[in-house]
């Protein structure tokens, strides 16, 4: 057996295949860029996918509107700190202020404690506590609802055990939840996924089309002919962006129609607001594509580079899983992803029916991304041509 193995190895090492294998391996190792592409991106993506798609939920944000302001209400609020899944993120002076925070996506759960809460508890009466859930992400809302129900049930059991002398009729469950599911009463998961995928698809299409268009002209040598014309570099880039912008807006309209007809996704907000913010985001996506093209010498290189840029953007955007379920470091990275803000606008306009009065932070952030990326792409484009 040993002799057969040695004989087989000798045959392999002396074969033409082994010589060709060594030649190809040497070529790869002498290309540091290819080695980095082979080793680094898969490791980074594995880490991103592992953390971002973690099914465990932690620190879902709970808002409190406490009209009672009593020791009994504070005791009830403390139960939300008894699990890692929920955390009290803010207190509000009114239920309407808390509802606005839910509309902006700053909360997952909103709890309203009525003024008569302490008196009801002291007299052994049932106290109604209203709980609002942001159900844009139906899965997260269901999980949060399960935790809240369990915590309140435990609270009621403790209250019952602490009042042994009270008649059984008065020791019935004292806190009753009045649950209200907002924005997605049917808890349809597709309503969360579809707006996210609209952003993802338009990002990939916009960046790929822009990079391919520029690199193709570089390969054909026609970009130099454009430079011979009186047009400036900025005009050349703008002329490339604007037709793509029109096509992507048409794509967005088609995507909205399909989302409505096939998946039943509503359009509760202003269509023009959606279209305006979409145009702003398409500007960002196209700028990313032109920036990639300015660093690429061929269409294959541009597509390979885009392959390592677009997946991390998709993962960090919250398109398929909520950013609130990601670890803190990943949540920080997600703030550097322009796609995250566009998806928040999509879900806000389509599902929540909110407008610029609630979405202005996301719109201003997208505007900043568009200005920075466009400036960088024009500068890099001009530098390369010089």
The pLDDT tens digits for 99-112 are 889 888 889 999 99
pLDDT in tens, 73-85: 898 898 888 888 8
**Measured between alpha carbons, how far is 134 from 119 in angstroms, rounded to an integer?**
30
pLDDT in tens, 24-37: 888 888 877 777 77
Three-class SS state of 338: helix
pLDDT of residue 287: 86
Going from the C-alpha of 75 to that of each of 64, 84, 262, 358, the distances in angstroms are: 13, 18, 47, 33
Region for residue 73 given its phi and psi (left: phi exceeds 0; alpha: psi -120 to 50; beta: otherwise): alpha
**Measured between alpha carbons, how far is 85 from 79 in angstroms, rounded to an integer?**
12
Residue 343 burial by CB count (10 A; 0-12/13-18/19+): exposed, middle or buried? buried
pLDDT averaged over the chain? 83
Orientation angle between helical segments 356-385 and 338-347, nearest 10 degrees: 150
Looking from the CA of 6 toward its CB, the CA atoms found within 13 Å total 3
pLDDT of residue 339: 92
Which among 192, 223, 321, 292 has a CA at the least distance from the CA of 284?
292
Residue scoring higher pLDDT (230 or 187) = 187
Identify how many contiguous H helices and E strands the chain contains and give both numbers: 15, 5
Largest Cα–Cα separation, the chain = 95
pLDDT of residue 272: 92
pLDDT, average across residues 309-329: 83
Query: Is residue 111 within 8 Å of 175, Cβ to Cβ?
Result: no
**Measured between alpha carbons, how far is 259 from 255 in angstroms, rounded to an integer?**
6
pLDDT in tens, 193-228: 898 888 888 888 888 888 887 788 777 777 667 667
Query: Is residue 348 within 8 Å of 199, Cβ to Cβ?
Result: no
Residue 249 burial by CB count (10 A; 0-12/13-18/19+): exposed, middle or buried? middle
**Measured between alpha carbons, how far is 87 from 77 in angstroms, rounded to an integer?**
10
pLDDT, average across residues 232-236: 73
Which among 347, 321, 344 has a CA at the least distance from the CA of 55?
321
DSSP letters spanning 9-34: HHHHHTSHHHHHHHHHHHHHHT-HHH
pLDDT in tens, 140-152: 888 899 999 999 9
**Measured between alpha carbons, how far is 148 from 143 in angstroms, rounded to an integer?**
9
pTM tops 0.75: yes
Report residue 271 as tokens.
């269509």
Band (163; pLDDT cuts 50, 70, 90) = low
Report the range of poorest mean pLDDT among 61-65, 181-185, 336-340, 374-378: 374-378
**Measured between alpha carbons, how far is 316 from 336 in angstroms, rounded to an integer?**
9
Three-class SS state of 186: coil
**Measured between alpha carbons, how far is 39 from 49 in angstroms, rounded to an integer?**
16
Report residue 300 as tokens.
């294959």
Query: Is residue 99 within 8 Å of 132, Cβ to Cβ?
Result: yes
Report the range of poorest mean pLDDT among 115-129, 168-182, 284-298, 310-324: 168-182
């Amino acid at each position: 057996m040993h002799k057969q193995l040695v004989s087989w190895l000798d045959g392999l090492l002396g074969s033409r295949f082994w010589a060709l294998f060594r030649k190809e391996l040497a070529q790869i190792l002498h290309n540091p860029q290819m080695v980095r592409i082979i080793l680094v991106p898969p490791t980074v993506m594995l880490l991103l996918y592992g953390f971002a798609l973690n099914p465990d939920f932690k620190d879902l944000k709970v808002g409190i509107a406490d009209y009672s302001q009593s020791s009994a209400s504070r005791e009830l609020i403390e139960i939300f700190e008894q699990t890692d899944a929920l955390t009290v993120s803010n207190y509000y002076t009114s239920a309407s202020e808390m509802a606005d925070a839910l509309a902006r996506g700053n909360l997952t759960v909103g709890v309203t404690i009525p003024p008569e809460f302490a008196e009801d508890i002291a007299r052994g009466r049932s106290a109604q506590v209203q709980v609002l859930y942001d159900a844009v992400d139906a899965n997260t809302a269901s999980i949060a609802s399960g935790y809240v129900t369990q915590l309140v049930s435990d609270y009621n059991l403790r209250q019952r055990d602490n009042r042994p002398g009270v008649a059984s009729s008065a020791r019935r469950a004292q806190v009753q939840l009045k649950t209200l599911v907002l924005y997605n009463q049917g808890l349809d998961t597709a309503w969360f996924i579809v707006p996210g995928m609209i952003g993802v698809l338009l990002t990939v299409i916009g960046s790929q089309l822009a990079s391919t268009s520029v690199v193709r002209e570089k390969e054909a040598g026609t970009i130099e002919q454009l430079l011979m014309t009186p047009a400036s570099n900025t005009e050349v880039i703008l002329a490339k962006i604007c037709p793509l912008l029109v096509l992507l807006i048409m794509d967005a309209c088609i995507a909205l129609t399909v989302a409505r007809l096939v998946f039943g996704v509503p359009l509760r907000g202003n269509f023009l607001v959606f279209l305006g913010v979409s145009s702003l985001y398409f500007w960002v996506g196209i700028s990313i594509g032109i920036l990639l093209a300015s660093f690429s010498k061929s269409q294959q290189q541009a597509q390979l580079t885009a392959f390592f840029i677009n997946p991390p953007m998709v993962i960090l955007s919250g398109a398929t899983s909520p950013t609130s379920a990601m670890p803190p470091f990943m949540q920080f990275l997600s703030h550097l992803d322009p796609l995250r803000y566009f998806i928040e606008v999509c879900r806000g306009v389509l599902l929540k029916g909110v407008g610029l009065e609630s979405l202005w932070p996301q719109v201003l952030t997208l505007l900043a991304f568009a200005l920075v990326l466009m400036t960088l792409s024009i500068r890099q484009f001009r530098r390369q041509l010089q």
